[in-house]
Amino acid sequence: MMKAGFIGLGGMGEPMARNMAKAGFLAALWNRTRQRAVRLAQQLEVECAESPAQLAERVDVVLTCVSADADVLEVVRALLPGLHQGSLIVDMSTVSSETARQAADLVRQKGAEFLDAPVSGGVEGARNGTLAMMVGGDEAALEKVRPVLAAMSSRIVHMGVVGAGQGAKAINQIMCAGINEAVTEALAFGARLGLDLTKVIDVISAGAAGNWFLERRGMSLLQGLFEPGFKLALHHKDLKIALDMAARIGTRLPLTEATLRDYEELLRQGYGDEDISALYRLKRPAE
Ligand code: NAP
């Protein structure tokens, strides 16, 4: 059985690591804020590594789920001294395709393999082990590690070379932006009409406009509860990645540009650590 190590025990990483442990793959953990790793390692009865490199020495596959581009490269550089021939790194953070390629170049110098494997499905998907995972990199390496990844995901699709997983994830994030705009704007409209929005969400969820975000965030956003979920500052980071990619291929994303402007306003107001459904703050009628 492959031995796996997990780095980045945040909102997504912690439940993913728990599922790895449940499936019997998890051997070691590491987190920048050490206390989080110590606590979870005790609970799951696995090793709490002293450093990313020490973790890499101990396992066959290193799974990472950290915040942004610079963080992935920092963690990958810290792993390098511990990598060995045949080591596998699977990064599940959402970053640019370019960062995935840079990370892959770094680990290949050590005879190791890198897969970009961003996920979708939110903290609920992470908890339930039902994430959708889009993977870029060597297909044989993916097949080797697929049983490990299947402990966290209900759908794993090979997209192409390194960076292709992040390309697919950018498409996902562009759609999420449009859905967030549409749902929050439409519910604010409904509030102004004075309709019973519990009934609205119930009936619309069963029809053509039903969607994941409406079903899982509709009621909480109406109550003014914006607990993440998915932090607005992280989606803002993803939309900037998508706009950079669009600029490179000479296309525009007007909906994404509008969402980015809204998020920038919310970041200015100090709501970056709230869920993306906090967009409703800008749309809802004044009390
Ligand atoms: P989070 O709760 O903010 O957790 C971030 C994790 O990354 C923490 O463990 C943090 O360590 C670690 N980290 C950040 N920078 C680091 C660095 N330079 N070196 C080492 N560790 C570092 O974020 P999250 O919601 O779990 O998201 C993680 C990634 O998954 C992001 O790329 C996000 O876009 C993506 N994602 C999120 C969702 C979602 O719904 N939340 C869904 C799909 C994908 P500390 O404990 O020390 O802060």
Catalytic residue list contains 283? no
The answer, yes or no, to whether residue 48 has pLDDT greater than 90, is yes
For 30-46, what is the mean pLDDT? Answer: 98
pLDDT-based confidence at 74, cuts 50/70/90? very high
pLDDT-based confidence at 287, cuts 50/70/90? confident
The answer, yes or no, to whether residue 175 has pLDDT greater than 90, is yes
Ligand 1 neighbour 63 (Cβ under 6 A): no
Ligand 1 neighbour 11 (Cβ under 6 A): yes
- C-alpha torsion angle, residues 230, 129, 14, 61 (rounded to 10): -120
Model-level pTM greater than 0.85?
Answer: yes
For 26-40, what is the mean pLDDT? Answer: 98
For 151-174, what is the mean pLDDT? Answer: 98
Q: Are 78 and 103 in contact (CB under 8 A)?
A: no
For 211-238, what is the mean pLDDT? Answer: 96
For 165-169, what is the mean pLDDT? Answer: 97
User: CA distances (Å), 141 to each of 20, 113, 145, 175, in order?
Assistant: 18, 7, 6, 29
Ligand 1 neighbour 74 (Cβ under 6 A): yes
For 189-214, what is the mean pLDDT? Answer: 97
Catalytic residue selected from 169, 199, 237, 283: 169
Distance, CA of 104 to CA of 93 (rounded, Å): 14
User: CA distances (Å), 34 to each of 11, 41, 48, 52, in order?
Assistant: 15, 11, 9, 12
Ligand 1 neighbour 15 (Cβ under 6 A): no
Instruction: For the beta carbon of residue 149, count every other beta carbon within 10 angstroms.
Output: 24
pLDDT-based confidence at 14, cuts 50/70/90? very high
Distance 217 CA to ligand 1 centre (A): 20
Structural domains of the chain sorted by starting position, each given as residue range(s) with its CATH number in brackets: 4-161 (3.40.50.720), 167-283 (1.10.1040.10)
